A and B are shown apart, each in its own frame.
Chain A
Amino acid sequence: MARRVRVSAVSSDFIILDPAAGDERGVETVLASMRRLIAPVLPERPDLIVLPEVCDRPDNYEMPRRRAYYDCRAERVLDFFRQTARQNRCWVVYPTERLDEGGAWRNAAYLIDRAGHVRGVYDKMFVTISQMEEDGFPCAREPAFFETDFGTLGMAICFDLNFPALLEAYARMRPDLIVFPSHFHGAFLGEHWAWACQAFFLGAIARHECYLISPAGQAIARSSPGRRFLTAEINLDRCVVHCDWKDLPRLDALKAARGKDVEITDAGFGGNFVVSAGDTVRDAAGMAREAGLMPLDDYLLKGEGRTSAWPGA
């Protein structure tokens, strides 16, 4: 059955605070900035809003100064996003710098549910050397895997995208959607992650474009310089299939038989297609198998079988 979800990502600018104006005024400035960021996507009534990495960090404050500011901020920005989630009945990913239970500052992202409750926190696993040395941020050990009322979520933050260990973890966990709050755009890496995990991939990038990638690695939505946010509806009931040229008639036959109850998109490379279930079909994977289509997993397994005799395989 179709599992349609509306997802939004927003970009952001530098936040420059006037130290002379005091931290109370600084918090008000930041809250006003956060309101401006999400205002354009709220009329779309998204199920999920993702903000960029450390979206409420004052960029002109070094860490010691930021700590003093954070004392004043406390959880007021978190509370703002909890209220936003509750009022709009949506989930919010709020990336920020947080003080953890052990007293360490972390580059992190909160996941807030529709009732405004914090349902989880992902602490960045691959913190940069400068963040470790200058800001004193530790690296986390665990990836994120969160259940929501619309599907499962994985998270990666910025520099994380460079490291195969996290990609491989998500490729095993198979979340429906990976969210990527970042300052670093990632170029084509998000497309590779999406394909490798067969998950939607949503990038909310500070000062760059936001983007949404299909589970077959195809960009399906991007923000623009004039509209620095995106909202798109995605269908999480999907199956990525591999189709050789000679198998294409099977896709046509499936469409002819199911009509609007099947959605088929072509990633445009590697013979990869996404088959999604419509509103009256049980599930995409079952439908694809019944149509004689080969799920990408089976194709990959067959391919890796060719290397099973290699040393260490």
Chain B
Amino acid sequence: MARRVKMTAVGVRPPSAESRILERGSMLDLVLHHIVRELEQAFAWRPDLVLLPESCDRPLDLPDSEAGRWDRENGPAVQDALARIARERGCVIAYGRGSASLIVIERDGTAAGRHDLLPGPPPPLVSCSLGKLACILSDEMQSERLRDLYRGLHPDIILLASRFPGGVLERSWAFDCRAHLASAVLFRSDLRLPCRIVSPVGAVVDTSTTSRTHARAVINLDSAVVHLDNHREKLLALQGADPDGIAVHDPGYLGGVLVSNEAAGGTIGDRLARAGIETIDQYFTRYLAERDRSLGRGAPEEGTA
């Protein structure tokens, strides 16, 4: 059954740490004002899930010596404000709390879970009403080990709350984990860095612009990545038999395509299995076993699966 989620990644430019001498009101009010201003634009679309960047709850360029105190004194108030907004708007909100945590708030304003910057034990996925979320902060974006861990946990959505654009790493994370990805990036002054929605085949579905500070897309979580090798005819037949119930998105050049179950019933896994279509992981696993047999090996090589 189609599991559609309206997902938005919102860029935020927090007030400068110097703003306290330029503007009226408390710094906390200013920080919240900057978040709410961007959220208002995004909420016109009534998203199910909103992602805000790392450190969106702090003044920009807060010295390290002041950051801890700021987080202790003001972090709970920002979380309370976002919980209230989540409840009022009926959406899940995820945001980077300082540079060390990613907080996920449920539609009813309760905390769904949090991800803390490594080190620590291997982080679990965060479960919420929309599905299983893999959370990443910008300093973790380049960790192959974290990516390997998350790949094995099969998240529905990857959330990257960052202070840098993720570039090709966003695309390779999404493709490696066969999951949709949202990246929200902290804006520096007036420099609007790209927030993006990336599909499980690494295709950039939407990006923020100079006039729109958020990226948005309706994604369908009942989907799977299939390799075109040996599957072209079967995919055509599957789609031909139910043109409105099966969507195939080919980003081109990759070999992998995203197949979604748009129907009101069944699951993409069942529908692919009935059509004799393997997922890309089933195909690569079968390929590696075949390759090992041809090389006279019993078990797959380390790192090849």
A267 at interface, CB cutoff 8 A: yes
Q: What is the minimal beta-carbon distance from B203 to any residue of chain A, in angstroms?
A: 8
Q: What is the minimal beta-carbon distance from B147 to any residue of chain A, in angstroms?
A: 10
Q: What is the minimal beta-carbon distance from B298 to any residue of chain A, in angstroms?
A: 15
Interface string of B132-146 (1 = CB under 8 A from A): 000000111111111
Q: What is the minimal beta-carbon distance from A30 to any residue of chain B, in angstroms?
A: 27
> Which of the 9-residue segments B6-14, B40-48, B77-85, B247-255 touches chain A?
B247-255
Interface string of B99-128 (1 = CB under 8 A from A): 000000000000000000111111000000
Interface residues on A, range: 35 or more
B232 at interface, CB cutoff 8 A: no
A253 at interface, CB cutoff 8 A: no
A306 and B119 within 8 A (CB): yes
Interface string of A207-228 (1 = CB under 8 A from B): 0100000000110000000000
A270 and B295 within 8 A (CB): no
Q: What is the minimal beta-carbon distance from B62 to any residue of chain A, in angstroms?
A: 11
Interface string of B237-265 (1 = CB under 8 A from A): 00000000000000111110000000000
B169 at interface, CB cutoff 8 A: yes
Among A164, A195, A303, A310, the residue within 8 A (CB) of B169 is A195
Interface string of A161-175 (1 = CB under 8 A from B): 011110010000000
Interface of A, helix, strand, loop or mixed by DSSP: loop
A309 at interface, CB cutoff 8 A: yes
> When chains A and B are docked, how far (Å) is the Cα of A115 from the Cα of B188?
53
- Which residues of A (134-189) have their CB < 8 Å from a CB of B? 138-139, 141, 162-165, 168, 184-189
> When chains A and B are docked, how far (Å) is the Cα of A304 from the Cα of B149?
13
Which B residues touch A130, using CB under 8 A? 229-230
A164 and B294 within 8 A (CB): no
A300 at interface, CB cutoff 8 A: yes
B200 at interface, CB cutoff 8 A: no
B88 at interface, CB cutoff 8 A: no
Interface of B, helix, strand, loop or mixed by DSSP: loop
Which B residues touch A191, using CB under 8 A? 167-168
Among B61, B119, B166, B288, the residue within 8 A (CB) of A269 is B166
A307 and B118 within 8 A (CB): yes
Which B residues touch A244, using CB under 8 A? 163
Residue of B nearest to A168 (CB): B303
Which B residues touch A303, using CB under 8 A? 118, 139-140, 142-143
Q: What is the minimal beta-carbon distance from A267 to any residue of chain B, in angstroms?
A: 7
Which B residues touch A299, using CB under 8 A? 142
Among A271, A296, A306, the residue within 8 A (CB) of B118 is A306
Question: With A139-B291, A165-B304 known to touch, is A245 a contact of B119 (CB < 8 Å)?
Answer: no
> When chains A and B are docked, how far (Å) is the Cα of A313 from the Cα of B188?
36
B15 at interface, CB cutoff 8 A: no
Q: What is the minimal beta-carbon distance from B263 to any residue of chain A, in angstroms?
A: 28
A192 at interface, CB cutoff 8 A: yes
B166 and A132 within 8 A (CB): no
Interface string of B189-213 (1 = CB under 8 A from A): 0000000000000100000000000
B96 at interface, CB cutoff 8 A: no
Which A residues touch B138, using CB under 8 A? 270
A81 at interface, CB cutoff 8 A: no
A188 and B202 within 8 A (CB): yes
Which B residues touch A189, using CB under 8 A? 172, 254
Known: A168-B303, A270-B167, A313-B145. 7 other contacts (CB 8 A): A185-B252, A186-B253, A270-B165, A300-B142, A305-B119, A310-B121, A311-B122
Enumerate 20 A-B pairs (CB-CB under 8 Å) in ascending A order. A127-B291, A128-B229, A129-B230, A132-B291, A138-B295, A139-B294, A139-B295, A184-B255, A189-B254, A245-B163, A269-B167, A300-B143, A303-B118, A303-B142, A304-B144, A307-B118, A307-B145, A307-B146, A310-B145, A313-B145
Binding site for B on A (CB under 8 A): 126-130, 132, 138-139, 141, 162-165, 168, 184-189, 191-192, 195-196, 208, 217-218, 242, 244-246, 267-271, 296, 299-300, 303-311, 313
